Structure 1
Amino acid sequence: MPLSIFGFQALWSPVFIGVLVFLTVLYFLITVKWRHDFAVSQPLKKKEAIAFVSGMVLLYVLKGSPIDLLSHILFSVHMTQMAFFLFLVPPLLIVGIPAWVWQSFIGLPVVRSIFAVMTRPAIALVLFGILFSFYHLPVIFDIIKQDEVYHGLYTLVLFLSAFFMWWPIMNTLPDTHKVHGLIRVGYIVGSGAMLTPACALIIFSNSAFYATYSDPEAWLQAMALCVPVSTLAGLNLTGPELFTSMSPLEDQQVGGIAMKVLQELILTYFLGMVFYQWFRREQDNADEITAQALRDRKTMLAYQRGQ
C-alpha cells in the first residue's frame, strides 16, 4: 500500500520544515550579520556552516520526511531513524555552532549550571544509557508511542542526553568538560556498550513485544501522532502488515540489528578521527617528542650512574 494515502502533511511535515528553515536563517544572522554585536566573535568557518546545515537537513530527513511516517509503521525504520538522530545529529550541531556562540550561550546563569553537571563525562554517559534502555522497555515504549505529549517530551529529553554525551568528545571550548587520549577512546567505546543490553534484548527475543507495532488498535493510536485523525478515519487500515512482508518479530529483530550496526559504524568513524588526530599531532610534534625522549633517557642514565 503506498504511503501517499496518508496525505501531504503526514509525509512532509510543512510546519517542521518551516521551523528548521527559521533556525537556519537565525544561525546565519547570528554568526554572520550580528556577530559584531557580541563582545567576542570570529568569522564563520566554512566547515562550521557545512556541519550545521548538514545537521539541519539530516534532522528534517529523519523527523520531517516520509522516513518519520515509516518509523511509526515499522520498528526497523524507527531504530534506523534513532541511530542517526542520536549518534550523528548532535555532533554535527556541536561542531557546526561556533565556539564563541556556545561560550555566549553557556555563559547564561541557568545554562551554565546545567552544563556544569550534565556534561560531566560519567554522568552524561550513564544517563544516556539509562534513558535509552528505559525508553525501549515494552511497557514504557508503548505508553510513550501512543501519547503525543509523552512522545514529544521523551524524544526531546533523549536527544538532549545524547547531546550531553557527545559534548565532552566534540566541544572545543576552554574550561569545559572534555575527554582526551585513551580516555576518549574508552568513552566512545563505552557509549556503544551502554546500548548493547537493550539491543540484545530486542534482537534475541522470541516474541514481538511492542504493541504499537503488532497490535492493530495500539498501532493506529500510535499512527495518530503523525497522521491527522480525520485522515486515519477515512482509511481502512488493519496494521503494519499492509506495508511490509516482514512479521512483527522479524521487523523487531531487524530494528535491533540496524541500531547496533549503524551505531557501531558511526562510532568507528569517530574512533578513526580520534586516532587520525593523534597521528597528526605526533607527526607535527615529532622533533619535540624526540628531543624530550632524549632528555628523559639522559636523565635516566645519569640517575643509574649515580646509583
Structure 2
Amino acid sequence: MTQKEGALFVTNMILLYAMYGAPVDLLSHILFTFHMVQMAFVLFLIAPLIYFSVPDYLQKYIVKLPVIGPVLRLGAKKPLVTLMLLIAAFSIYHLPVVMDNLKMSATLHTLVLALMFLIAVMAFYPIFNKVEPEEEQLGGLFKLLYIFGIGVFVTPACALIIFASSPMYSTYTEGEAWLNAMALCVPAGILDSIAGAGMISGPEYFTNMTPLSDQRTGGIIMKVLQEVFFGVMLAHIFFKWFNEERKNADQITERALERAQAQKEMNNRFRV
C-alpha cells in the first residue's frame, strides 16, 4: 500500500463515518437537505474513492472471492447494466411512496441503503478498477461518456424534487410520520415523552425553512455536489487518457523512426 492509498483510505473511512455515524445521519432524518448531502457523498464520492484507496493486490483478491467477485465484475462485463441499476435504484428510492415506507422500518431502510451503496461500487468498477487488463477496459472516451451518462440520468429525479409545487415526503412534513421515521435513530421512549409534551410538531421545529424550501434546497445541493464530484472524475479520466494517448503516440513515432533508420542502414549496405 502506498502512502497515497493509505491517506485516501483513512479519508474515505472518515467520510463514511461522517455520513452514517456522526450527527449528519440524525440530521438526514430531520431535514431533507441533509439527506441529499448524505446521498451525494455516499453514492458519488465515497463509492468511487474505494478504487483509489484499496491497493491493486487487494482488489485482485476481492474479485476472486466466490460471491463478491462475480457481482463486482458484472460492471466490467455489462457496464450499461450497472449504470442503469444505479440510476434506477436512486430514482426508485426517492419516489415518495417508497422512501416514506422505507423510513418506517430501520432494518429494511438499512438493507436498501447498503444495496444502493453496493450498486454504486459496482457502477464505478468499469471506470476505476485496478484489476481488469488495460486492453479489456473501456476506452477514455467511453469512460467520459459513462460518467456523463450518470449525471444526465440523475437529473430528472433531482428536477422533480427541485421543481415540485408541494412537499413530496410525508416523513419530512407531517408530525406523526416524521416522529415514526425519527424512531430509526432516536429511542422511542424519548420521542413519546417529547411528543406527549407537545414540544415538537414536526421538522419545522428545527429550521426556519418551509418543508418545500427544504426539499428544493436538498435537490439543488444533490445536483451541485454531483456536478462537482463528476467534474473531478471527468478531469481525472481526461488527463489520464490524454497522457496515455500522447505516450502511445510517442512510442509509435519512436518505433517508426527505428524502422526507418533500420531500412536506411539496410539500403546503404546494399549500395556498398
Q: What band does the TM-score fall into relative to the shorter chain?
A: 0.7 to 0.9
Structure 2 residue 230 is the aligned partner of structure 1 residue 267: yes
Structure 2 residue 106 is the aligned partner of structure 1 residue 148: yes
Residue 118 of structure 2: aligned partner: 160
Q: Compared with structure 1, are the counterparts of its residues 294 and 198 closer, same or farther at alpha carbon in structure 2 (3 Å cutoff)?
A: farther
Shift of 1:287: 2.8
Give the one of 170, 185, 208 matched to 2:167. Answer: 208
Shift of 1:225: 0.5
Report the aligned-residue RMSD.
2.0
Contact persistence 2:51–2:130 (CA under 8 A): no
Relative to the length of structure 2, the TM-score reads 0.87
Give the count of matched residue pairs.
252
Structure 2 residue 193 is the aligned partner of structure 1 residue 234: yes
CA distance in 2, matches of 1:287, 1:195: 39
Q: Compared with structure 1, are the counterparts of its residues 293 and 165 closer, same or farther at alpha carbon in structure 2 (3 Å cutoff)?
A: farther
Give the one of 59, 72, 77 matched to 2:34. Answer: 77
Contact persistence 1:138–1:209 (CA under 8 A): yes
Residue 145 of structure 2: aligned partner: 186
Q: Deviations over 1:1-52 (max 9, x none)?
A: xxxxxxxxxxxxxxxxxxxxxxxxxxxxxxxxxxxxxxxxxxx111111111
Q: Compared with structure 1, are the counterparts of its residues 111 and 175 closer, same or farther at alpha carbon in structure 2 (3 Å cutoff)?
A: farther
Opposite residue 242 of structure 1, the aligned amino acid is Y
Contact persistence 2:8–2:53 (CA under 8 A): yes
Q: Which runs of 5+ in 2 are unaligned?
A: 259-272
Q: Deviations over 1:186-215 (max 9, x none)?
A: 000011112111111101110101000001
Opposite residue 183 of structure 1, the aligned amino acid is F
Opposite residue 170 of structure 1, the aligned amino acid is F
CA distance in 2, matches of 1:144, 1:293: 63
Q: Which runs of 5+ in 1 are unaligned?
A: 1-43, 296-307
Opposite residue 155 of structure 2, the aligned amino acid is T
Give the one of 211, 222, 230 matched to 1:248. Answer: 211
Relative to the length of structure 1, the TM-score reads 0.77
Q: Percent identity between the aligned chains?
A: 46
Opposite residue 153 of structure 2, the aligned amino acid is M
Opposite residue 99 of structure 1, the aligned amino acid is D
Structure 2 residue 10 is the aligned partner of structure 1 residue 50: no
Q: Deviations over 1:43-65 (max 9, x none)?
A: x1111111111110000111111
CA distance in 2, matches of 1:149, 1:105: 27
> Based on CA coordinates, which of the two structures has the bigger radius of gyration?
2
Q: Compared with structure 1, are the counterparts of its residues 192 and 293 closer, same or farther at alpha carbon in structure 2 (3 Å cutoff)?
A: farther
